[in-house]
């Protein structure tokens, strides 16, 4: 057990990779065995994530030096800088890994029925596992170049999966946009890594944070990193690819792409808080993040109101919900060097923002999966062509209602818990922010109510006479996320204490991250 915990950071990444390499061999022989392998690998990874998270909650952060004679030997003996690649896992990383594990397990189970009629399933599952491995790799690594490599794995797998159903005209377009944006973002990150390497001859995040001078070159690198991650997570001026890619991807993949964009959000937080930390001009950078957040929130939701394609509508909501997270974190960043403000509302804002990530991954994932269920039975994404489906697809309708209530922040739901935290804390920082956030929330409710009426209510259409409930495995995929939402709605305090708050502490505590790598010298 102890050895399992010690090696769990790398096993979480290596097991999906190993399974992905095995699938082309196993899938040719036996399709059942392949399905079992996919689900078993992801379930085992989920188990590892939980024991790792538990260990880190009680014992503090963990390092894993790859290829060294001992996993805690971050720096070679008699030397002063790390040479090997180091995985560094703290509560923020495990928080993100929990999201990825849940979402990919739900997506894999949902896919079992969802893509059963398609060809190329072996490759579909290979890429799904690689996408999951890419996200885990991004979240657990402590090395900038390694972050870039795993970002590319996630991007390429995501783009290929977006274009999975090649018979439709617009899938290749969506995938092309996704890969172009991802490549530009990745190359900008690589350029920033080069700038760091030129000055400090280091690529390790903790070691770089220790010697960070915040020179002109560092500022250019910061701008490159922030723009690149904003591109990947579809912050507003750079969001045009997002609805196109999300709407054409198979529903289970859209859910994974949402999780992948949160992995980039995590990378952005890591950059701002851990890599630069207090040497930034905090107020300026904080306000830039807040303004990005406000723009994303407002423009995302206003665009969503006019959509008639159900997945495009949800994609725009995705942009708008990302705004809330940026908001919470931006407020925290702006007051990072002001202990009084940080304690009175900064930490609360960050808790809200981080709690919102996991809430959003759950309910946004659920909503995309219900949209996929509608598409699976009706063959269309156009809301105007649907109607009266509530009787035929009872469970899907119930799941949709749960997701919609949660995303709009109606009181007992988990969405309400995180939004309330955000409203209260951002109001103390600047009232306008809280007001915009509330307006966005109301518009979200309006838009989802409209979508509900056009899809599920109204007269039953003759062409959907034959429609029935979706297969069991799709129901099971959605049920995993529903259970998560209900649990989070019932015990929001517990989730904040056990997940969100430790993650916030981990982000704020730059010194702990540095000394995890550099030992006593941090």
Partner 1 sequence: MMSKIVRTMSNFLILVVLVYGLYIIMHGHSTPGGGFQGGAVVASGVALLIVAFGSHSIHENLKEHHLSILKSTGLLIFIGLAFGGMARTFFYNFLVGSPIFGHIPPLGPNPGEMLSGGVIPLMDIGVSLNVAGGLSAILLVMALAITATEVEE
Partner 2 sequence: MRKIAIAVSLTVFIAFLIAAAFLIHPFGSPPSQMDDYIIENAQRETGANNAVTAVVFDYRGYDTLGEATILFTAVVGVVMLFRKERRG
Partner 3 sequence: MEGIPFNIPFLAVAAMIGIAFYIIVSQRNLIKLVMGLSILASGVNLFLITLGYREGGIAPVYTHAPTERMVLPIPQALTLTSIVIAVACLALMLSMVVHIYRHTGDIDAEKSRQMKG
Q: Which residues bind partner 2 (CB under 8 A)?
A: 17, 20-21, 24, 66-67, 76, 79-85, 117-120, 123-124, 126-127, 130, 133, 137, 145-146, 149-150, 152-153, 156-157, 159-161, 163-167, 172, 195, 198-203, 215-217, 220, 223
CB distance 388 to 345 below 8 Å: no
Q: List beta partners, residue 141.
A: 87
457 binds, among partner 1, partner 3, partner 2, none (CB under 5 to 8 A by kind): none
7 binds, among partner 1, partner 3, partner 2, none (CB under 5 to 8 A by kind): partner 1
Considering only residues 66, 283, 341, 446, which one is a binding residue for partner 1 as defined by CB under 8 A?
66
CB distance 129 to 120 below 8 Å: no
Which CB, 5 or 420, lies closer to partner 1? 5
Query: Smallest Cα–Cα separation from 268: which of 415, 448, 147, 109?
Result: 147
Which CB, 24 or 458, lies closer to partner 2? 24
Alpha carbon separation from 237 to 233, 268, 271, 323 (Å, rounded) = 11, 16, 20, 12
305 binds, among partner 2, partner 1, partner 3, none (CB under 5 to 8 A by kind): none
199 binds, among partner 3, partner 1, partner 2, none (CB under 5 to 8 A by kind): partner 2
Considering only residues 1, 29, 32, 67, which one is a binding residue for partner 1 as defined by CB under 8 A?
67
Nearest 5 degrees, angle CA 287-CA 197-CA 267?
A: 40
Q: For residue 398, how far is the Cα from the chain centroid?
A: 25
By CB under 8 A, tell whether 183 contacts partner 3: yes
By CB under 8 A, tell whether 26 contacts partner 3: no
Considering only residues 46, 194, 388, 522, which one is a binding residue for partner 3 as defined by CB under 8 A?
194
Q: H-helix or E-strand containing 87?
A: strand 86-89
Considering only residues 37, 64, 346, 413, which one is a binding residue for partner 1 as defined by CB under 8 A?
64
d(CA 210, CA 511): 9
184 binds, among partner 3, partner 1, partner 2, none (CB under 5 to 8 A by kind): partner 3
Phi, psi of 63 (to 5 degrees): -115, 155
> How many CA atoms, within 13 angstroms, populate the side-chain half-sphere of residue 452?
18
Query: Smallest Cα–Cα separation from 246: which of 158, 138, 350?
Result: 158
By CB under 8 A, tell whether 119 contacts partner 1: yes
CB distance 277 to 269 below 8 Å: no
By CB under 8 A, tell whether 220 contacts partner 3: no
Each residue 109-148 as x (binds partner 3 by CB under 8 A) or -, in order, gives ------------------------------------x---
By CB under 8 A, tell whether 7 contacts partner 1: yes
d(CA 379, CA 351): 40
Considering only residues 149, 341, 439, 486, which one is a binding residue for partner 3 as defined by CB under 8 A?
149
Considering only residues 160, 222, 357, 518, which one is a binding residue for partner 3 as defined by CB under 8 A?
160
By CB under 8 A, tell whether 14 contacts partner 1: yes
d(CA 343, CA 15): 40
By CB under 8 A, tell whether 69 contacts partner 1: yes
* DSSP three-state, residue 63: strand
Query: Smallest Cα–Cα separation from 322: which of 455, 233, 384?
Result: 233
Each residue 19-58 as x (binds partner 1 by CB under 8 A) or -, in order, gives --xx-xx--x------------------------------
Q: For residue 249, how far is the Cα from the chain centroid?
A: 16
By CB under 8 A, tell whether 43 contacts partner 3: no
223 binds, among partner 3, partner 1, partner 2, none (CB under 5 to 8 A by kind): partner 2
Which CB, 130 or 475, lies closer to partner 3? 130
Q: How far is the CB of 381 from partner 1 (least distance, A)?
A: 26
| Tokens 């952005």 found at | 268
Give start and end residues of each alpha helix (H) in 306-393: 310-334, 339-341, 347-378
Residue 119 CB-density burial (10 A; 0-12 exposed, 13-18 middle, 19+ buried): exposed
Q: How far is the CB of 157 from partner 2 (least distance, A)?
A: 5
Considering only residues 172, 305, 398, 401, which one is a binding residue for partner 3 as defined by CB under 8 A?
172
Considering only residues 82, 175, 235, 323, which one is a binding residue for partner 3 as defined by CB under 8 A?
175
Query: Smallest Cα–Cα separation from 243: which of 306, 324, 313, 153?
Result: 313
Q: Which two tokens stand for residue 106?
A: 């739900």
Q: How far is the CB of 474 from partner 2 (least distance, A)?
A: 20
d(CA 16, CA 128): 9
Nearest 5 degrees, angle CA 478-CA 498-CA 345?
A: 105
Can you give the binding site for partner 1, defined by CB under 8 A? Answer: 7, 10, 14, 17-18, 21-22, 24-25, 28, 64-71, 119-120, 122
Can you give the binding site for partner 3, defined by CB under 8 A? Answer: 145, 149, 152, 156, 159-160, 163, 166, 169-173, 175-177, 179-181, 183-184, 186-187, 190-191, 193-194, 197-198, 203, 240
């Amino acid at each position: 057990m102890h050895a399992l915990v010690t090696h769990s950071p790398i096993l979480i990444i290596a097991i999906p990779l190993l399974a992905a390499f095995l699938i082309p061999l196993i899938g040719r022989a036996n399709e059942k065995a392949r399905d079992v392998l996919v689900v078993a690998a992801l379930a085992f990874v989920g188990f590892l994530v939980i024991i790792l998270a538990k260990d880190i909650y009680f014992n503090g952060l963990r390092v894993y030096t790859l290829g060294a004679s001992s996993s805690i030997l971050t720096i070679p003996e008699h030397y002063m800088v790390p040479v090997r690649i180091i995985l560094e896992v703290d509560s923020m990383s495990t928080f993100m890994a929990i999201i990825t594990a849940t979402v990919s397990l739900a997506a894999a189970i949902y896919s079992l029925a969802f893509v059963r009629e398609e060809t190329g399933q072996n490759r579909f599952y290979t890429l799904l596992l690689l996408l999951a491995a890419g996200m885990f790799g991004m979240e657990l690594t402590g090395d900038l170049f390694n972050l870039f490599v795993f970002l590319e794995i996630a991007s390429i797998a995501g783009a290929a999966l977006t274009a999975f159903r090649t018979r439709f005209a617009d899938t290749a377009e969506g995938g092309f946009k996704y890969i172009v944006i991802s490549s530009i973002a990745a190359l900008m990150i690589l350029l920033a890594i080069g700038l760091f390497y030129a000055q400090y001859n280091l690529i390790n995040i903790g070691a770089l944070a220790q010697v960070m001078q915040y020179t002109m070159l560092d500022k250019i690198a910061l701008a490159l990193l922030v723009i690149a991650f904003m591109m990947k997570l579809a912050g507003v001026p750079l969001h045009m690819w997002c609805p196109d890619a999300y709407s054409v991807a198979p529903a289970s993949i859209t859910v994974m792409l949402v999780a992948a964009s949160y992995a980039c959000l995590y990378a952005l937080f890591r950059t701002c808080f851990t890599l630069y930390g207090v040497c930034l001009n905090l107020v300026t950078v904080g306000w830039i993040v807040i303004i990005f957040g406000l723009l994303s929130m407002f423009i995302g939701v206003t665009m969503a109101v006019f959509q008639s394609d159900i997945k495009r509508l949800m994609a725009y909501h995705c942009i708008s919900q990302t705004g809330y997270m940026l908001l919470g974190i931006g407020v925290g960043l702006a007051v990072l060097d002001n202990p009084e403000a940080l304690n009175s509302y900064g930490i609360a804002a960050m808790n809200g923002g981080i709690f919102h990530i996991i809430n959003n991954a759950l309910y946004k994932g659920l909503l995309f999966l219900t949209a996929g269920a509608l598409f699976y039975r009706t063959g269309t994404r156009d809301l105007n062509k649907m109607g009266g489906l509530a009787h035929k697809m009872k469970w899907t309708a119930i799941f949709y209602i749960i997701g919609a209530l949660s995303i709009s922040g109606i009181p007992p739901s988990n969405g309400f818990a995180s939004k309330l935290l955000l409203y209260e804390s951002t109001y103390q920082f600047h009232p306008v922010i809280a007001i915009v956030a509330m307006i966005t929330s109301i518009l979200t409710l309006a838009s989802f109510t409209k979508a509900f009426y056009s899809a599920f209510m109204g007269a039953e259409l003759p062409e959907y006479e034959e429609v029935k409930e979706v297969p069991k495995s799709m129901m099971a995929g959605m049920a995993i996320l529903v259970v998560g939402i209900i649990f989070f709605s019932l015990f929001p305090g517990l989730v904040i204490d056990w997940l969100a708050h430790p993650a916030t502490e981990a982000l704020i505590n730059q010194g702990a991250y540095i000394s995890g790598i550099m030992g006593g010298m941090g």
